Amino acid sequence: MTQSFDIQDADTKNTLILICKTNLKMNQALDIGDIDSFQKLSKVSENLRKSAKFTAAQNKESKNDFVDSVGELVSMCEREGFIPRYAIDIPQDKVDFTLKDMNDYLYKLVTQDLGFGQQIEDALKKIQIQKEMNEALEEGTAEVEDEDYEAFLAEAEKQKEADQETFAEQSIFEKGDDADGA
């Protein structure tokens, strides 16, 4: 019984002694054929076992590995130590690689301006020029001539070539960085 159940206090030990004595008396009553005494003693023994929680069902409940309260959790952490905040030794999965890739991309996008700012400014300038031309046409104060269209298209073509050169230069630098890193 001491190996199967947690017996630590004096009351539990006393109950265990009474259970042992009752079992001896039950066996004596059974040996002499006194069934009435045996039944009474078996009820007493069963009540003693239930009150001291010496039944198999209660033993299973006490061996339960689940943490039922915050106090048990705190006790377990104090006894076994704390869980590390970040487990670095675990293998990285696809999600971790994807997040790292996205962070690297955003870092490059912010730190290595690939001409996006200039392209946006140029597009806004073209929109402003077109808007001014349309307003001038609506007011009738200025007529748009073929020369104006040609000048506008020539300026747009120059800007396109400048953007392509800038992009080509940045691509060369990026390829050089990739070759150095490989």
Residues 36-77 pLDDT 10s = 988 998 898 888 888 877 776 655 555 555 667 888 877 877
Q: Angle at the Cα of 123 (from 121 to 124), degrees rounded to 5?
A: 65
Average pLDDT along the chain: 76
Indicate if the pLDDT at residue 5 is higher than 60: yes
**Angstrom distance (rounded) from CA 131 to CA 101:** 41
Residue 144 makes CB contacts below 8 A (sequence gap 6+) with: 133, 136, 137
Q: What is the pTM of this model?
A: 0.32
- Tell me the average pLDDT across 20-33: 90
Q: Where are the domains of the chain?
A: 10-80, 115-181
pLDDT level of residue 153 (50, 70, 90 thresholds):
confident
pLDDT in the model for residue 104: 86
Higher pLDDT: 46 or 1? It is 46
Indicate if the pLDDT at residue 19 is higher than 70: yes
pLDDT in the model for residue 182: 44
Residues 51-62 pLDDT 10s = 877 776 655 555
**Angstrom distance (rounded) from CA 5 to CA 72:** 20
- Tell me the average pLDDT across 83-98: 70
Residues 101-139 pLDDT 10s = 888 888 887 777 666 677 778 888 999 999 988 888 777
Q: Which of 13-17, 52-56, 170-174 has the lowest mean pLDDT?
A: 170-174
pLDDT in the model for residue 127: 92
Burial 116-127 (b: 16+ CB within 10 A, else e): eeeeeebeeeee
